[in-house]
Structure formats: structure tokens, C-alpha cells
A and B are shown apart, each in its own frame.
Chain A
């Protein structure tokens, strides 16, 4: 059987296909079908010839086999220094082989490639910092995922994720109506505590267009309420778009580059439509990476930038604290030891280390850095889509050990995690290892600490 009903080379493009695939619980049939899926070697080879150019080719070729990258990878450390987890080995034994064999690989091999590309790498790009040649396995595995996607060898959840973006322009099944309703609902919810609060939808020429992670409207709508309260407190002239509000990209984790483009274009269209001065992205790392850092390239923007200047939430918070738009009550600062989880996507890969430190200087009395931290920090263990993949649950939980030990070493029991993947990962690592740590986004903490001027307080 070359192409399965669920597992095939075609991406999901309709709601119906999506629902069918979802009905195959945990992808049982999907993965069975995968064992029969044909490999189109010619197509692989054609793609390689078109897209494997200077930098990837050179990386594969000049790798000195020195092993310096081994210790940089948290999977290697967490798996008792298993040589099979050395970044260079992982890529040479997958992409390297495909290139050597000119795409002529077996079905079994492709499944091994999938299990490596999604189960042994979170595309955290840490190894690039430690390799003398700057060889970036995160970039290469991401490329390899793209290759796997075209061949249909992708984890079940990834196929669904990419399909969600293609169908809903969001990583979850949220329609425009659902989203706008949630905005209205949250504005009402917060009205009692914050008289005059608004979540303005589709307001033109606002100073800020705010975009989110679909999990917020779907699972924790209060996050949206909190964002509104903080914008209200800071006196910002802001809006959310009715369409193009989703910043995340499971399509990026899936290697579905066409899906990535569709998703990001919806956001850029919203910007073109509403003409805001700037964009602010919620506390999510990969969303920022997808829409701000990589997105412009998927859409063919020659300047490599989104249509307007874009801030990650931590940049906006740092700015608001710096300008005094939000003032912190010194008596309410966090007194206990607290640490900060540097997200790979906006710290290592987008240079926002200083913003995070600046925020901590305003809100924490006893801030403890992890070792190492900043651009050198380890991945939370849940990045690159890992959090959502049932097939690699054990791999992920093992990987958590590194982050667990890093946190415990700081002596802090509270971890600030302004990134959805990090937040989930720390939650799940606590669930797995029960070490007694707590975790939080910035928004609820800021709301507890901020000084609210009298005119914004509810009248008793």
C-alpha cells in the first residue's frame, strides 16, 4: 500500500480530513499505515538538488567529527552520554545518509529519520554555539523535517497541527467567531476589576496590534484578560485583529513550509489591513520565532522583517517598566528566590536576553540565574513540538532531567517561563519528577505587583 488513508504524502487541507485524522486515536492506524508508505527517492533527490546548497552541504562535509557538540545537547547529557545522541551523529546518520544515498532509502530508514528528527532533537540550536564551524543541527533537523513532511513521514500530531493551520489559520480549531467571542467575554469578565477595560477588535491605526497563541483563547482565556488589563494599565492604544491573530506555527515544527507561509501571511495581512504602528506578541517563544524571525522569509519578504516593528512580550514589558507605564509596588516584589527559563526561540535565536534581565531587576528581589543561562541556556526539553508528541513522551521526560537539575541548582522554587512551550515543559517536568517547583507566565505576576492608580480602580 503506497499511500494510506491517514498516512500519505498529502497535507491536510479540509476540515473533514482533519476530523477523520483526529478520529484515529493516538494515530494507531496512521503509524501502521506508515510502515507501508512508499519512499519517493526521485522526489527527495530533486529537493536535495534544489535546496541543499552551500551552507548545509558544507556543514555535512566539513564536520570534523570532533565531538565537541556532544555536551552541548541536553539529550546527550540526559541519556547518560549515549553516543547515539551526539548531534553530529544524529544528523550524519539521517540527513547525511540520505544525501550519500541520493535519496534511495527504505521505508524503515525514513521512520528512523522521523524518530530522530522529532524524538531526539528539539531544534534548540544550542549545538551551533558549541561547534567550531558553527554547524547548526537545529537548522539541519528543521530542514530534514521539511524533507520528511513531503514524504509523509511525520508524527501524527504534526500532521494534525499543520492541517489546523491550513484549515483554521490557527494551531487549534478556533474560528474567527470563537475568537471574537472570547475577546468580548474576557473584556466583560475583567470589567468589574478594571472599569473601562476593552479588547478592541480590528481597530485601525492603533499603536499596538496584539497577537497570541491559540491555546490562550482555547484553554486559558484569562491570559487574554490579563494582557488586556496590563495594556489598560499602561494606557496603550491597542487592538487585536479578528483574523490573523495567531502567531504560533505547528507547521514550522512539522516542516510544512507552505503551511507556514499561509499562517504567517494571515498575520501580515492583518497588519496591512489595520495599519498598526507596532506588533506585540504574547509570551510564546516559537510563535515569535515563526512570525517575526523566520516568517518574513517564508513569505518572500526581501528585507527579512515583518511589515511593522514587532516586540516579543518581554520587550514590551521591559519597555513599559522602563518608561514607568507600569510601576511595581516595591513591597510586592517577589521575595523568594526565583529563576528565569530562557526560551531558545527568543533568547538564543532572537537576542532578547537583556530584556529578560531588565524585567527581573524590577520584579524580583532574589533573582537566580541558571547555569549556564542566556544564549547558552539549555532547552526546556519541550521545544520543537516535542511537548505535543505522544510517540516521544519517554524521550521528552528523560530529556527533562537536565532542566530539572538546572532549576534545582539555583535553589529557586519559582520559575518564570514567558514561553508556552517552556511553561508546559516545566509543568510536565514537575508532574514527572515531583521536585516541588512552581512556574508562571509574567502577566499574572505583573498584575499582582503593579501599582494601580486610583482612577483605574473600581468604584466600591
Chain B
């Protein structure tokens, strides 16, 4: 079982993950249309690029946009959650050990303690995001079972990873479950709204170009996010 989930299944999920995201990106860009979107992507592009960079930067920097600033608690939660989600799996010592064994290279790593803190941070912030979903009427009305499923898919690798790493219970069982959860997440990303790991950037670039080329960027007004 262990050999299967760390062998062919891992390969498969990685292929689906990368190919899926490449497909999503290409498909998105191909579907942009000057006249349907009413943005001349190909004319005055420089204005668009400038504005697109701003559009992304203001939103990936904590408190970089007015929207982030007026909702500080939510912003802190979102950033802790996302930073943990991205950093932990990529720079985890255990993952890099496997990477080195398999493919002979490794990335710089964070310490096990940092990884632990980040894992807990992801789980706790997810918990608060779920509470927020239930508590605030304006978020509750938007919420469906799908949103909880997505959250589960995202957080499950962290919970199972934490349990297996600390050998809280049957290691063999939890580590296989952890790997499976990770693979489910990788496979789910291109097919669900988790695809926003690329579509977030594409969408922000698009709206940045829209404002930069058409809606004021060329008048020097420039959108302030």
C-alpha cells in the first residue's frame, strides 16, 4: 500500500495537478476576448501590464488593499492560512527528504518546530474561517456544502500529517492516510475552485489590465486598490 501511494499514485496526482493547472491557464488566456471583455489586451498593453502588477501586488501583500485593511481580522486569518498552506508542504524537512531520496534534489527547509507551528496555524485559522462562515449572515448565505468539502480537502493533509509526524497513533495508518489526502488535494485543485491557485493571479491580472487599459489607467488616474 505504502509503495503504491508513494509510487504510481503520487506520480498520477502530480501529473494531474501540473497538467490540470497548465490546461486551466492556457484555457483561461485563450478565452480572453477583446470584444467580449471589452479590453484591448493587445493595444496599449504596457498600461495594462503596469496596472496588472499593481493589481496583484496590492492583494498578495497583507493589508495592501483597502479591502484587506477594512477587514483586519479576516485578512490576518486568510494570510496565515494561505502562507501555511503553501510554505509548509514545500519546505517541510520530511518532504524534502523523500524528494532527495527519489529525485536526488532538495529545497531549503524550515525547521520541524516552524512546520508544527504553521500546521497548527493552518488548522486553527481554518477553524476560525469555518466559524466565521457560520456566524456571519452575509457569509452564511453564500455557503454551501461544497465550501465545506473544499475546506476539508485542503486541511485534511495538515491534520493527518500532524498526527502521523507526532506518531500520536498508528503511524503506518496515518501516514498512508496523509499521503492519500495530499494526493486527493492535488487532484482536486484543477477541477474545483481550488484552481484559484492560478486563477487568482489570472483574474487579478485581467481586472488590472481592464482598469489599466480601459478604465482610467491611461488617464493617469490609476486604480488604487
Q: Give the distance in Å from the alpha carbon of A300 to the alpha carbon of B31 in the complex.
A: 18
Q: Is A390 an interface residue (CB 8 A)?
A: no
A55:B203 contact, CB within 8 angstroms: yes
B38:A351 contact, CB within 8 angstroms: no
From residue 63 to 102 of chain A, which have CB atoms closer than 8 A to chain B? 63-68, 70-72, 76, 81, 83-84, 86, 88-89, 92
Q: Give the distance in Å from the alpha carbon of A232 to the alpha carbon of B160 in the complex.
A: 77
Shortest distance from the beta carbon of B143 to any chain A beta carbon, whole Å:
6
Q: Give the distance in Å from the alpha carbon of A168 to the alpha carbon of B183 in the complex.
A: 63
Q: What 0/1 readout, one digit per residue, does chain B (190-213) give for beta carbons within 8 Å of chain A?
A: 000101100110111011101101
Q: What 0/1 readout, one digit per residue, does chain B (138-163) give for beta carbons within 8 Å of chain A?
A: 11111110010000000000000000
Shortest distance from the beta carbon of B113 to any chain A beta carbon, whole Å:
31
Q: Is A152 an interface residue (CB 8 A)?
A: no
Q: Is B71 an interface residue (CB 8 A)?
A: yes
Q: Is B66 an interface residue (CB 8 A)?
A: yes
Main secondary structure of the interface of A (DSSP, over half): helix
Q: What 0/1 readout, one digit per residue, does chain A (97-133) give for beta carbons within 8 Å of chain B?
A: 0000000000000000000000000000000111111
B220:A354 contact, CB within 8 angstroms: yes
B147:A65 contact, CB within 8 angstroms: yes
Are A130 and B35 also in contact (CB < 8 A) when A58-B199, A352-B221 are? no
A65:B67 contact, CB within 8 angstroms: no
- Among A57, A61, A63, A86, point to the contact of B141 (Cβ < 8 A): A86
From residue 39 to 68 of chain A, which have CB atoms closer than 8 A to chain B? 51, 53-55, 57-59, 61-68
Q: Is A283 an interface residue (CB 8 A)?
A: no
- Among B32, B203, B217, point to the contact of A133 (Cβ < 8 A): B203
A67:B142 contact, CB within 8 angstroms: yes
A67:B136 contact, CB within 8 angstroms: yes
Main secondary structure of the interface of B (DSSP, over half): helix
B141:A83 contact, CB within 8 angstroms: yes
Q: Is B72 an interface residue (CB 8 A)?
A: no
- Among A55, A66, A89, A350, point to the contact of B221 (Cβ < 8 A): A350
A129:B44 contact, CB within 8 angstroms: no
From residue 392 to 437 of chain A, which have CB atoms closer than 8 A to chain B? none
B203:A68 contact, CB within 8 angstroms: no
Q: Give the distance in Å from the alpha carbon of A293 to the alpha carbon of B215 in the complex.
A: 7
Set of chain A residues within 8 Å of B219, measured between Cβ atoms: 315, 350-352
Set of chain B residues within 8 Å of A59, measured between Cβ atoms: 203
- Among A88, A133, A293, point to the contact of B142 (Cβ < 8 A): A88
A352:B216 contact, CB within 8 angstroms: yes
Set of chain B residues within 8 Å of A300, measured between Cβ atoms: 35
A54:B32 contact, CB within 8 angstroms: yes
Q: Give the distance in Å from the alpha carbon of A372 to the alpha carbon of B29 in the complex.
A: 34
Set of chain A residues within 8 Å of B74, measured between Cβ atoms: 66, 68
Are A294 and B38 also in contact (CB < 8 A) when A58-B203, A304-B44 are? yes
- Most chain A CB within 10 A, of B34, B196, B216, B218, is at B216
Set of chain B residues within 8 Å of A351, measured between Cβ atoms: 211, 215-223
Q: Is B59 an interface residue (CB 8 A)?
A: yes
Shortest distance from the beta carbon of A89 to any chain B beta carbon, whole Å:
5
B55, closest chain A residue (CB): A134
- Among A55, A63, A350, point to the contact of B206 (Cβ < 8 A): A55
B43:A303 contact, CB within 8 angstroms: yes
Set of chain A residues within 8 Å of B39, measured between Cβ atoms: 304
A293:B214 contact, CB within 8 angstroms: yes
Q: Is A369 an interface residue (CB 8 A)?
A: no
Q: Is A353 an interface residue (CB 8 A)?
A: yes
Q: What 0/1 readout, one digit per residue, does chain B (19-44) give for beta carbons within 8 Å of chain A?
A: 00000000111111111111110011
B66:A53 contact, CB within 8 angstroms: no
Shortest distance from the beta carbon of A318 to any chain B beta carbon, whole Å:
11
Shortest distance from the beta carbon of B77 to any chain A beta carbon, whole Å:
10
B43:A302 contact, CB within 8 angstroms: yes
Are A54 and B139 also in contact (CB < 8 A) when A302-B43, A350-B221, A375-B224 are? no
Q: Is A349 an interface residue (CB 8 A)?
A: yes
| 5 nearest A-B residue pairs (beta carbon) | A351-B216, A351-B221, A54-B31, A134-B207, A304-B40
A-B contact pairs, 14 of them (CB 8 A): A58-B28, A61-B195, A65-B142, A83-B138, A133-B200, A294-B38, A297-B34, A304-B39, A348-B215, A348-B216, A350-B221, A351-B216, A353-B221, A374-B224
* A58-B202, A67-B138 known, 15 other contacts, Cβ within 8 Å: A51-B36, A54-B206, A55-B31, A65-B142, A67-B142, A70-B138, A83-B141, A128-B207, A129-B223, A133-B200, A302-B40, A304-B39, A304-B213, A351-B221, A353-B221
